[in-house]
Structure 1
Amino acid sequence: MGYLMESEELLSMFDMGNIRICDCRFKLGAPDVGRKEYEKEHITGAIYFDLEKDLSGQVKEHGGRHPLPNLDHFKNKLESYGITNDTILVAYDGGEGSFASRFVWLLTYMGHQNVYLLNGGYRAWKERGYYSDDQLPHYEQAEYQLKIRESVLASYQEVKEFTEQRPDDVVLIDSRETKRFLGVEEPIDKKAGHIPGAINKVWTNVLEEGYYLQAEELKEIYKDISHDKEIIVYCGSGVTASPNYIALKEAGFTHVKVYVGSFSDWISYPDNPIG
């Protein structure tokens, strides 16, 4: 089993005590919307994780617009929800795929073994008429141990080294829409363009109506990439890189990392070149 879980499979596991369903709905530019949607209605028993308050850290001079959270604080939040290292975690968003994917990647980085993304998100769950309510659950405090997996995180230094010294050893994937990759249009960041040497694989192309494509279709998207190469995925701020990370893993790639700082971190160093 990979990272994806269908609604029917989650329903079959619903009465298991060792499972937590994680609502990651969010709206960029309107940060309160996701929490309000959760409080209005969510999958029964689900707990809420906010992209900016929980899944990201404080924005500083460097590190990008959605840097890694303080892991000790995040660990405390997991423990407050009764989550242990053995808990099965299933994350969903509204169906966009990016916010739940960020959760899945982050928990993978933290060393969690059983973390999945609900394919199709909350929309798919609701279309089937499965359990939902507005009740805020309470869970007993638990203990959680961090087991960091550095193999899925690319640092700024690694990306810098790639661009300067070993461009043939690494495939750098820019997940943003093509206009932003080419520098034709940049609605968010202060500079336009991409990290030199990167190729463009738009993250929305791995999804269709909120569902990840089948493995064979994903393999077709990445057919020009060698499985022997190390792959580093980035976007504008490290969020929409996550669907490409999951899709690459579903397509059978093993050496995949996310550059969390992404383009917004790269351009925070004024001397860095832009493609």
Structure 2
Amino acid sequence: GWHCWTLEDRPISQKKETPPQANFISRYRSQMIADKEDVLKAIDEKNTCIVSALGRRQHRGERNEYGRRGHIPGAMNVTAWEILDRQTNRYKPIEELKRLFKPMLDQDRVITYCGGGVAASSDAFILYLLGHKQVAVYDGGLMEWCANPELPLEVDT
């Protein structure tokens, strides 16, 4: 973004730019979205991994930002901040990302989540870049999950 652009002393301009017109055709890919039923099933599936992009304290259950504390049972935690270089706000080098996501890469399917799908999308994007093609985002996240007291949560002790 802007921060990195200026850090690298790249050219800037006050001139108004007009990008060329183009036609973008979106395509809905249902396999890239998970709902709470998918997540509930995944808790007990050995070949599906759940990844929490929540901050460490929220994941461990030390913070309560969504009405209940904790994380979805069995979820591994790779925070959205862990995948970024704090100086440039760019994603970290690919080898470092491979190390962070190594446990997930051997799974048949990965479902990422956070509070409402934003940070989870970054984790899903990186997994896809690393070659994992069966990645879905649970965009309801903890906002939806925690609203139902019957849905399980784990708190790290």
Bin of the TM-score, shorter chain as denominator length: 0.7 to 0.9
Q: Structure 1 regions of 5+ residues with no counterpart?
A: 1-120
- Deviation for aligned residue 1:262: 0.8
Aligned residue in 1 for 2:144: 265
Q: Distance in 1 between matches of 2:63 and 2:136?
A: 26
- Deviation for aligned residue 1:227: 2.9
Q: Distance in 1 between matches of 2:71 and 2:126?
A: 21
Q: Distance in 2 between matches of 1:136 and 1:272?
A: 50
Tell me the number of residue pairs that the alignment of Structure 1 and Structure 2 aligns. Answer: 151
Q: Is the 8 A contact 1:230 1:255 kept in 2?
A: yes
Select the structure that is richer in strand: 1
Amino-acid identity (%): 26
Map 1:63-74 → 2, pairs under 5 A:
none
Q: Distance in 1 between matches of 2:67 and 2:13?
A: 41
Is 1:181 aligned to residue 85 of structure 2?
no
Aligned residue in 1 for 2:46: 168
Q: Is the 8 A contact 2:48 2:107 kept in 1?
A: no
| Cα distance, 1:145–1:223 mapped onto 2, change above 3 Å | closer
Aligned residue in 2 for 1:125: 5
Map 1:85-234 → 2, pairs under 5 A:
121-127=1-7, 128-133=9-14, 135=16, 145-163=25-43, 166-186=44-64, 188-208=65-85, 209=87, 210-234=89-113
- Deviation for aligned residue 1:144: 5.1
Which TM-score applies when normalising by structure 2?
Answer: 0.83
Which TM-score applies when normalising by structure 1?
Answer: 0.50
| Cα distance, 1:157–1:167 mapped onto 2, change above 3 Å | same
Q: Distance in 2 between matches of 1:133 and 1:217?
A: 37
Q: Is the 8 A contact 1:237 1:264 kept in 2?
A: yes
- Deviation for aligned residue 1:169: 2.3
Compute the RMSD of aligned alpha carbons: 2.3
Post-superposition Cα deviations, 1:162-203, rounded to whole Å, max 9, x if no partner, equal: 23xx331210000111111111122x3211111112111122
Q: Is the 8 A contact 1:216 1:251 kept in 2?
A: no
Query: Which SS does the other structure have where 1:222 is aligned?
Result: helix
Q: Distance in 2 between matches of 1:236 and 1:221?
A: 21
Query: Which SS does the other structure have where 1:133 is aligned?
Result: coil
1:133 counterpart letter in structure 2: Q
Query: Which SS does the other structure have where 1:167 is aligned?
Result: coil
Indicate the structure whose relative CO is greater, using CA pairs within 8 Å and at least 6 residues apart: 2
| Cα distance, 1:182–1:228 mapped onto 2, change above 3 Å | closer
| Cα distance, 1:132–1:248 mapped onto 2, change above 3 Å | farther
Q: Distance in 1 between matches of 2:19 and 2:100?
A: 42
Q: Distance in 2 between matches of 1:226 and 1:135?
A: 44
| Cα distance, 1:132–1:230 mapped onto 2, change above 3 Å | farther
